[in-house]
């Protein structure tokens, strides 16, 4: 009987330790994945949006490997688009409702982001100011200027919504419009860039 009790207790302890180790392992893996994404040159930290003091109305977080798996089916007809989506590492969207009280904070967050991006080697390639409509599109070129490693779109519309879109991956400059068209990100869909983005 004593042996049986010992075996039961040992099993319980072992089971508990395994569960704890699994949980730790999962957390560690999650943190590793997050850290790997954050270290990507095209990643934009959206934490400045917390200053908006409101929750996003829409949040989209699609990351590798899900993008790769789903990309195979996202567009059956267009093989190029399929490969393009499969090669992305992250697509994030945040959409906020703009109110008279949040618009100031939003513009401040946008301005702060612009300064940071400029410092980090990003280039603003589209800037639109038309009444209440503001659109900025930023690219992060690779060091050899052959690829785009990240895209950031900041759009304030007359529909009282502000959208922030960050796409991370290895994107050919000529594919930016295709991505914009597919994801329906206005401001990106009409961007046509020659192969060399900067000399």
> Quick one: 15 exposed, middle or buried, by C-beta within 10 A (0-12, 13-18, 19+)?
exposed
Size of the site for another protein (CB under 8 A): 47
Position 163 contacts another protein (CB under 8 A)? yes
97 versus 142: smaller Cβ distance to another protein = 97
Q: What is the Cα–Cα distance from 191 to 171, expressed in whole angstroms?
A: 13
Position 49 contacts another protein (CB under 8 A)? no
Q: What is the enclosing helix (H) or strand (E) of 20?
A: helix 2-38
CA-to-CA dists, residue 22 to 19, 25, 35, 158, 197, angstroms: 5, 5, 20, 49, 46
Structure tokens at 186: 């206005």
Position 151 contacts another protein (CB under 8 A)? no
Q: What is the enclosing helix (H) or strand (E) of 19?
A: helix 2-38
Q: What is the Cα–Cα distance from 83 to 74, expressed in whole angstroms?
A: 10
Tell me how far, at minimum, the Cβ of 61 lies from another protein, in Å: 6
55 versus 112: smaller Cβ distance to another protein = 55
Q: Which of 49, 125, 155, 176 binds another protein (CB under 8 A)?
A: 155
Tell me how far, at minimum, the Cβ of 179 lies from another protein, in Å: 10
148 versus 163: smaller Cβ distance to another protein = 163
Position 77 contacts another protein (CB under 8 A)? no
Give a three-class secondary structure readout of 119-184. HCCCEEEEEEEECCEEEEEEEEECCCCCCEEEEEEEEECCCCEEEEEEEEEEECHHHHHHHHHHHC
Tell me how far, at minimum, the Cβ of 58 lies from another protein, in Å: 5
Stretch binding another protein (CB under 8 A), from 10-18, 26-34, 37-45, 117-125: 26-34
29 versus 116: smaller Cβ distance to another protein = 29
* Residues forming the site for another protein (CB under 8 A): 26-27, 29-30, 55-63, 65-66, 69-74, 91, 93, 95, 126, 128, 130, 133-135, 153-158, 161-163, 165, 182-187, 190
């Amino acid at each position: 009987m004593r042996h049986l009790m010992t075996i039961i207790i040992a099993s319980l302890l072992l089971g508990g330790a395994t569960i704890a180790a699994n949980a730790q392992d999962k957390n560690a893996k999650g943190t590793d994945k997050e850290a790997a994404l954050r270290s990507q040159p095209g990643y934009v930290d959206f934490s400045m949006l917390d200053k908006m003091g409101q929750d996003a109305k829409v949040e989209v977080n699609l990351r590798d490997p899900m993008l790769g798996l789903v990309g195979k089916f996202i567009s059956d007809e267009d093989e190029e688009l399929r490969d393009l989506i499969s090669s992305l590492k992250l697509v994030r969207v945040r959409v906020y409702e703009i109110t008279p009280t949040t618009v100031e904070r939003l513009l401040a967050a946008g301005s702060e982001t612009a300064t940071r991006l400029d410092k980090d080697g990003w280039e603003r390639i589209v800037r639109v100011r038309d009444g209440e409509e503001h659109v900025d599109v930023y690219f992060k070129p690779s060091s050899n200027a052959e690829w785009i490693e990240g895209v950031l779109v900041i759009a304030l519309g007359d529909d009282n919504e502000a959208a922030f879109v960050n796409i991370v991956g290895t994107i050919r400059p000529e594919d930016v419009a295709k991505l914009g068209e597919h994801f329906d990100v206005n401001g990106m869909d009409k961007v046509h860039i020659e192969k060399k983005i900067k000399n």
